[in-house]
Homo-oligomer: A and B are copies of this chain.
Amino acid sequence: MLHITIVGMGLIGTSLGMALRSANRMESPLGPTTIMGYDRDSRATATAWAQQAIDRQARDLKEALYRAELVILAIPAQALPELFAAMAPLLASGSVITDVISTKVQVLEWAHTLLPETVDFVGGHPMAGKEQSGAAAAEAGLFKGALYCLTPSPQACQEAIQLVEGMVRQVGATPYYIDPHEHDMYVAGVSHLPFLLSTLLVEVTSHNSNWHAMAHLAATGFRDISRLASGDPEMHRDICITNRAAITHWVGEMITLLCDVHKQLERDEGEELLALFDRARTARNHWLATRHARRPDATVFDLQYQDYLRAP
């Protein structure tokens, strides 16, 4: 019986519990499991329990970590250093810790500094989510078919990595080993820049003195491009703070492009703008058409994983 503890009963933590418990136990790579849930807000823990995301509710961190073999941390990034410090004296030797936070370099540094050497840390980031937050929005199928990035600490042992990989497969996701620096730079472009643009679109329009009249004309295009602005503000803030350098890079690139467009709008007869819209449509449609076909399969992960472990 594998003892799993999930700390943080928000959208991701609760969804992971639901996915783990609803998986076919006969085919589970983890074997029989029991899941303990804990959140500082005991109402969130109760909601998760009512949704059958966890087997038992812990009243405090000590109870949560008692006998835990695999600990999944699904809390905001900014709360992680304090939690690591509080967990350190409570963790059994040989236990495996993973997280679900969207930035990985900073998290691995904190794990290295704050966790005891007797435990193994394997960073994780499921490429799934939705703009609602909280246990009540959780879904067992949230991770089905999604990529799940894994960034093991260089000190993590093979068994620890395999345990986390088993958890990833059990929730229906595909493990994807990646260098943490590359992860943070890429995700800043395809995930963090989008929520910033979404937020700034809402900011720039809703602060206009004519917003009340404009709002009538906002239709499906506005609705979709602004969707990520409804995401959890604290999560977005934490991502910005823990991935400053990479996000700053992409924001700088976007400013350059917008300044180009500003100039083109003034002087261009339309040729440069047409070329821009053509390129973007082609690139987006190609991505859309090939995104599932191009997805690397398990063999590639293994190779990539070997490369990653060999890297200095």
A residues near B, CB below 8 A?
A: 78, 127-130, 146-147, 149, 176, 182-183, 185-187, 189-191, 193-206, 208, 210, 213-231, 233-234, 236-238, 240-241, 244, 247-248, 250-255, 257-259, 261-262, 265-266, 269-270, 273-274, 276-281, 283-285, 287-288, 291, 294-296
Contact = CB atoms under 8 A, between A and B. Distances in A.
Given A149-B217, A225-B227, A255-B258, A233 B190 contact: no
Nearest to A182: B213
B262 A252 contact: yes
B218 A247 contact: no
Given A189-B205, A216-B295, A255-B258, A197 B225 contact: yes
Q: List 5 tightest A-B contacts by C-beta distance, closest first.
A: A233-B277, A206-B283, A190-B218, A194-B225, A186-B214
Contact of A255 (B202, B220, B255, B288): B255
Interface of A is mostly: helix
Contacts of A218: 190-191, 287, 291
Given A186-B210, A251-B262, A199 B147 contact: no
A146 to B, nearest CB: 7
A273 to B, nearest CB: 5
B182 A237 contact: no
Nearest to A211: B283
Contacts of A191: 217-219, 221-222
Contacts of A277: 199, 229, 231, 233-234, 236-237
B254 A294 contact: no
Given A217-B147, A217-B191, A270-B240, A261 B206 contact: no
A147 B217 CA distance: 7
B189 A230 contact: no
Nearest to A149: B217
> Among the interface residues A226, A252, A285, which one has the most CB atoms of the partner chain B within 10 A?
A226
Given A233-B278, A237-B274, 20 more contacts: A78-B270, A146-B219, A147-B216, A191-B221, A191-B222, A193-B201, A197-B225, A199-B276, A202-B280, A202-B283, A203-B276, A203-B279, A203-B283, A204-B254, A216-B296, A233-B274, A236-B273, A237-B273, A248-B262, A251-B261
Nearest to A295: B216
B284 A202 contact: yes
A197 B190 contact: no
Given A199-B280, A258-B254, A222 B186 contact: no
Contact of A270 (B183, B219, B237): B237
B215 A221 contact: no
Contacts of A196: 261
Contacts of A238: 270
B251 A284 contact: no
Contacts of A241: 269-270, 273
Contacts of A283: 202-203, 206, 229
